[in-house]
Amino acid sequence: MPVVALIGAQWGDEGKGHLIDLLASQARLVVRYGGGNNAGHTVVNHLGTFKLHLVPSGIFDPQTVNIIGAGVVIDPEVLLGELKELEARGVSTARLFISERAHVIMPYHVQLDQLQEQDRGEGKIGTTGRGIGPAYADKMSRTGIRMADLLHEQTLLNRLRVVLEEKNRILTRLYGASPISLHDTYLRYLELGHQLGDHVTDTHAIVQRALEKDLPILLEGAQGALLDVDYGTYPYVTSSPPGAAGACQGAGIGPTRLNAVIGVAKAYATRVGAGPFPTEIDGPAADTLRQIGTPWAEVGTTTGRLRRVGWFDAVMARYAAQLNGVDTLAITKLDVLDTLPTIKVCTGYRLNDAQLEYPPATVAVLEQVEPIYEELPGWMTPTTGVRRFHELPEAAQAYVARLCQLVGARLGLVSVGPGRDQVITVAEIF
């Protein structure tokens, strides 16, 4: 199966980076197709523990070419910092290419993201404050600055002059903030473009060549399907399409070329930031799911915020699978459930006297639904050392099988720990 998209099937942080790191050795190309440094992808392998925000998680495989596609929004300072750290730790970044069509997160995007959040007060989204929303908004308004613009002095100056006039009016008149200097910004971003210049190219040519040769290509998702700007829990979403359609658009690959879509889901559920979360829990069971004190504790990779936790929500996961054509499920963090005597799974929502099959579109309504739970027996046995599916405790096998049945996808991978060797392959991906 040459072209595989791996997407988050929940609200992000499902363990996508972990699985991409493993699968990258089977692919010739890994393309990160969307989002920006709101993402935090943790990779634990023989080289150490890495937290990637923009660099694709295939970077550790010396044979694999990594691409940051046109659908990504790039903060050049963050990307340079990440490249520097990787190089310092012995990871070559020579095979990383950045689409010249990718949009740039500028300082005013970050500032506006934070100011807008302050203004929202009670209704704040809980964004990562990295400028993601404003950068995508500018792209759609056709006032964005792209990577290619950083390499072309006159274009950068012309575009910045127009854009900054508008941004400075907003910053000073609406928010009472200081204006941003055209001169300083121009020089700074020209310099950043210069530093990244060797990586910036027409990635379309690389992707097309790989497609023509039927080389295995892995599309790396960021965020999760329930944060999708169209189909997620709007307005508590991110500003991009993190699913399979976004994969095609952001990587520049037509949908007819996609062979498989892997939906990654934790064996339970988490969410960072505000917004509806029907199966959210608190108390001792929540503490178990949070795994505080472990390196994989439910603390946001990007912002350090404590993640909200809850039971697996099959209504949401099935909805995510349907929207994205998920044919293969990867269940991560099964080991986190190892000590629980019983585990709940939400199989439906009740609203007044009705039973709902799909999540309602409106947040106010979604917040009123009552999850219908099925309770499954736990296995009370450590699974972190298990490497074959049939060696998992029977109750763990049954739990995972039930999740797949409810979601409507075959099982592909099960992860029982953060390490590269802690993934059980049930069905070959490539």
Residue 120: alpha-carbon gap to chain centroid? 24
Strand 200-201 versus strand 96-99 pairing type: parallel
Residues 6+ apart with CB under 8 A from 181: none
Eight-state DSSP code of residue 354? E
Residue from 5, 6, 7, 15 binding ligand GDP (CB under 6 A):
15
Residue 272 interacting with ligand IMO (CB under 6 A): yes
Write out the two tokens for 83: 């490249």
Is residue 261 within 8 A of residue 73, CB to CB? The reply is: no
Is residue 164 within 8 A of residue 185, CB to CB? The reply is: yes
Write out the two tokens for 336: 């986190």
13 as an active site residue: the answer is yes
Taking residues 284 to 313 in sequence order and writing x for each that binds Mg ion by CB under 5 A, - otherwise, the string is: -----------------x------------
Residue 111 interacting with ligand IMO (CB under 6 A): no
DSSP per-residue string spanning 236-280:
SS-SS--SHHHHHHHHT--GGG--EEEEEEESSEEE-SSS--TTB
Residue 16 interacting with ligand GDP (CB under 6 A): yes
Residue 40 interacting with ligand GDP (CB under 6 A): yes
149 as an active site residue: the answer is no
With CB under 6 A, what is the number of residues at the site for ligand IMO? 25
Stretch near ligand GDP under the rule CB under 6 A, chosen from 94-102, 146-154, 357-365, 411-419: 411-419
Stretch near ligand GDP under the rule CB under 6 A, chosen from 41-49, 64-72, 150-158, 228-236: 41-49
Question: Minimum distance from CB of 392 to ligand IMO (Å)?
Answer: 26
Is residue 224 within 8 A of residue 8, CB to CB? The reply is: yes
Question: Minimum distance from CB of 315 to ligand IMO (Å)?
Answer: 20
Residue 127 interacting with ligand IMO (CB under 6 A): yes
Instruction: Rank residues 51 and 387 by Cβ distance to Mg ion and give the closer one.
Output: 51
- Choose the contact partner of 112 out of ligand IMO, Mg ion, ligand GDP, none; CB within 5 to 8 A by kind: none
- Choose the contact partner of 241 out of ligand IMO, ligand GDP, Mg ion, none; CB within 5 to 8 A by kind: none
Taking residues 28 to 47 in sequence order and writing x for each that binds ligand IMO by CB under 6 A, - otherwise, the string is: -------x--xxxx------
Eight-state DSSP code of residue 145? -
Distance CA 388, CA 304 (A): 33
Stretch near ligand GDP under the rule CB under 6 A, chosen from 11-19, 92-100, 157-165, 187-195: 11-19
Distance CA 336, CA 399 (A): 13
Is residue 148 within 8 A of residue 126, CB to CB? The reply is: no
Beta bridge partners of 44: 49, 419
Residue 12 interacting with ligand IMO (CB under 6 A): yes
Angstrom distances, CA of residue 141 to CA of 79, 110, 151, 154, 237: 24, 17, 22, 21, 19
Is residue 426 within 8 A of residue 419, CB to CB? The reply is: no
- Collapsing DSSP to helix, strand or coil, 282 comes out as coil
Residue from 26, 91, 93, 126 binding ligand IMO (CB under 6 A):
126
Residue 133 interacting with ligand IMO (CB under 6 A): yes
Residue 8 interacting with ligand IMO (CB under 6 A): yes
Stretch near ligand GDP under the rule CB under 6 A, chosen from 35-43, 65-73, 132-140, 275-283: 35-43
With CB under 5 A, what is the number of residues at the site for Mg ion? 3
Distance CA 395, CA 99 (A): 46
Residues 6+ apart with CB under 8 A from 67: 29, 30, 31, 32, 56, 96, 97, 98, 99, 203, 206, 207, 251
Taking residues 225 to 264 in sequence order and writing x for each that binds ligand IMO by CB under 6 A, - otherwise, the string is: --x----------xx-------------------------
Taking residues 329 to 358 in sequence order and writing x for each that binds ligand GDP by CB under 6 A, - otherwise, the string is: ---xx-xx----------------------
| Catalytic-labelled residue, pool 18, 21, 41, 138 | 41
Residue from 223, 233, 249, 415 binding ligand IMO (CB under 6 A):
223
Eight-state DSSP code of residue 225? G
With CB under 6 A, what is the number of residues at the site for ligand GDP? 23
Q: Write out the catalytic residue numbers.
A: 13, 41
**Residues near Mg ion, by CB under 5 A:** 13, 40, 301
Report the interface residues with ligand IMO, using CB under 6 A. Answer: 8, 11-13, 35, 38-41, 125-128, 130, 132-133, 222-224, 227, 238-239, 272-273, 301
